[in-house]
Structure 1
Amino acid sequence: MNEWFTIDNVEHLTEQYKQLGPLVGILFPMIEAFLPFLPLVVFVVANASAFGLGFGFLLSWLGTVLGSYLVFLLVRRFGRHPKMQRIVGGERVQSLIRWVDMRGLSPLFVLLCLPFTPSVIVNVVAGLSNIRKKYYLIVLAAGKFVMIFSMSFIGHDLRALLTSPLKMVLALLAIIILWAIGKFAERQLNKRVARDLQQTDSSEK
């Protein structure tokens, strides 16, 4: 395994990925929006390394925005169907929908900016809320711009990362910090949702 994982082999693999063309660079991040267990960070780094920071970032950004907005549109179209209620009828999702309708787009923008937050839940909740389509597209594009660029910037130069222990450590540290910030924001959001909804329910009684 160690003999295969060399700089030359990684660069050769990157070059083969590049030969697949830019459509693949868009397709993989777009699929991740539907299958969130796939590693988005790997696709973003692969695009940035194969196509360069600027073009690679653009491909990843387009792919993830297209995929996320398609999820949003599908949920908006079919989310109220009785057969979908097992998926979207959970207490957490319904609480988030109520809260988004109360608070608007700002909290969603923050979550969309941060890597490793559950963007699929954000897309589903937005689709079931009363947010207008064009406004969500604007917030989605802006939030994903920040998130994808941060990932692309960290991983665009694989040779430098693999040959410099310091850069590798800094890159891993940056990823860990982004993950920690995302999880912290998610926990704080959950607390705020519960608090705001409790206050609303109390005022309605």
Structure 2
Amino acid sequence: MIKKLMIAAIYALIAFLIYIFGDNILNWFQQTNNILLIVSMASIMALFPIIPYPLVGGVIGAALGPVLGAAVTWSGSSIASILMFLFVRYGYQEWGQRVLSRGKSINKVTVMFEQNAFLAILFARMLPFIPSIIINVYASLSRVSFITYAIASSIGKIPAMLLFVVVGDNIMSSPQNLPITIVVYGIFIALSLGAYRLWQKRAIRPAAG
């Protein structure tokens, strides 16, 4: 228990430091050319989401351009989600599974989630209204394998990361293209949501039978 509390305290301390120096970090993104350092800092910003990551991605996109910015933003977000998965999996999974198994409805959802983990994580990542931290924690507390999570999560992050950097780049260089970008992404999200609901119905039917 003491070890878990210490880890939580360290996490809270780093989050507090990012809250204090957040503006300086965003300014630094616009001034440095060291890609490795930018990826590392982007990972930290995604791991401790005090500043909304879409804002971070927009700043990186404006600084590096849409292609390199998307790659850096995606890398940082993917690394952060994997680190969060490992952090919760090896620090809190035993406790979390006890919590998930208490309610019958939650337990049924978890079983269905584990049976269709790749698609569930993939679609959940594509839907921007599902908080990333919920996906990270829920997957790590379940019995989903690390490989399944890492691949599905990383692929599912690609569309959102592209949006963040393209919006950031458009604001700085071509603001007239911004509405088109948002409309195209909205259509993509609508299609993803429809596919996700269709998959849910098909996944529930065998479980009910």
- Among 4, 9, 19, the alignment partner of 2:31 is 19
Shift in CA distance, 58/190, structure 1 to aligned 2, threshold 3 Å: same
1:154-203 Cα shifts (integer Å, max 9, x gaps):
432323444x3xx2332444465566667x4698389649x828x74x65
1:111 corresponds to 2:124? yes
Task: Look up the match of 1:9.
Answer: none
Q: How far apart are the structure 1 equivalents of 2:194 and 2:132? A: 13
Structure 1, unaligned stretches of length 5 or more? 1-13
Q: How far apart are the structure 2 equivalents of 1:87 and 1:148? A: 32
Q: How far apart are the structure 1 equivalents of 2:27 and 2:85? A: 34
Structure 2, unaligned stretches of length 5 or more? 1-25
Answer yes or no: is the 8 Å Cα contact 2:74–2:161 preserved in 1. Answer: yes
Deviation at 1:143, TM superposition (A): 1.6
Q: How far apart are the structure 1 equivalents of 2:131 and 2:166? A: 21
Q: How many residues align?
A: 181
Q: How far apart are the structure 2 equivalents of 1:181 and 1:33? A: 29
1:32 corresponds to 2:46? yes
Q: How far apart are the structure 2 equivalents of 1:93 and 1:38? A: 31
Answer yes or no: is the 8 Å Cα contact 2:55–2:164 preserved in 1. Answer: no
Task: Look up the match of 2:63.
Answer: 50
Deviation at 1:55, TM superposition (A): 1.9
Q: How far apart are the structure 2 equivalents of 1:117 and 1:132? A: 21
Task: Look up the match of 2:18.
Answer: none
TM-score (norm 1): 0.66
- Among 144, 168, 185, the alignment partner of 2:178 is 168
Superposition pairs of residues 44-193 of structure 1, within 5 angstroms = 44-82=57-95, 94-162=107-175, 164=176, 167-174=177-184, 177=187, 184=193, 188=197, 192=201
Q: How far apart are the structure 2 equivalents of 1:87 and 1:190? A: 27
Q: How far apart are the structure 2 equivalents of 1:99 and 1:136? A: 15
User: % of aligned pairs identical?
Assistant: 20
Answer yes or no: is the 8 Å Cα contact 1:48–1:57 preserved in 2. Answer: yes
The alignment's C-alpha RMSD in Å is 3.7
Shift in CA distance, 28/88, structure 1 to aligned 2, threshold 3 Å: farther
TM-score (norm 2): 0.65
Task: Look up the match of 2:11.
Answer: none
Shift in CA distance, 50/99, structure 1 to aligned 2, threshold 3 Å: same
Q: How far apart are the structure 1 equivalents of 2:196 and 2:148? A: 25
Task: Look up the match of 1:196.
Answer: 204
SS of residue in 1 equivalent to 2:130: coil
